[in-house]
Amino acid sequence: MKRMMLLCATLLIAGVAFVNAQQVVDENLCGLWQYVEEREAPDGTIQYIGKPIFKSINRDNTYFAMVCVTIDVTGSEKEKPYSVTETYITQRGEIEVKAGGNYLEYIGEHYTNPGLTNTITSLKYEFKDAQKNIMYIEYLTANNNDTWFGETWRKVQPFGSK
C-alpha cells in the first residue's frame, strides 16, 4: 500500500513538473501583438504606427500570426462601391522560451510561404518600455541563417486603457 501511494505521489509530482515546464517562461510575451512601424514625430518622440499584422502568443506555448486585408468591392448598379476587411491566419506553431531574451518558433504551418512550414526560427526579444508593451525582435529564418531581421511589435490593449 505504501509503495502504491509513493508511486502515485511520484507520478503526481512528475506530472506537475511536466506541466510547469510547458508554461511560457516570460508571461510578458503572452498576449496579442500588432506589428508597428517606428516614426519620429516633429517633437522628436517616437510614434508607433500600427500595421494590419498581428501575432497571438498564448500561455500554452502556441502562437499564430494573422493579417487583415482590405478589399475594394465595386458594388452593383444599385450599390455604391465599398470595401470589406478579411482576416487570414498566415502561420501557426509553438514557441519555446530560452534564457536571456531568446525563444524559438516551431512553425507548424506557414500559409504565405510554405517553404517555412516545419522549420524553426530563432528569435531575440527585448522590451523597449517599462510597461513591456513595446517589443523589438530580431530573428534568423530557416532559409537565411546569416542575416538577422528586425521588427517592432506593440501589445494590443483593452479599449480605453492607457
In a domain, 37, yes or no: no
Q: What does the pLDDT read at residue 15? A: 44
pTM of this structure: 0.78
In a domain, 102, yes or no: yes
In a domain, 42, yes or no: no
Q: How far is CA 148 from CA 70, 81, 138, 142, in A?
A: 30, 42, 6, 11
Q: In this structure, what CATH number is given to the domain that contains residue 122? A: 2.40.128
In a domain, 158, yes or no: no
Comparing CA positions, the residue from 156, 150, 149 lying closest to residue 134 is 156
In a domain, 162, yes or no: no
Counting residues of the chain whose pLDDT is more than 90, the rounded percentage is 64
Q: Which domain holds residue 6?
A: 2-32+55-151
- Measured in degrees and rounded to the nearest 5, phi and psi for residue 107 equal -80, 105
In a domain, 134, yes or no: yes
- Measured in degrees and rounded to the nearest 5, phi and psi for residue 133 equal -105, -10
Q: What does the pLDDT read at residue 136? A: 97
In a domain, 95, yes or no: yes
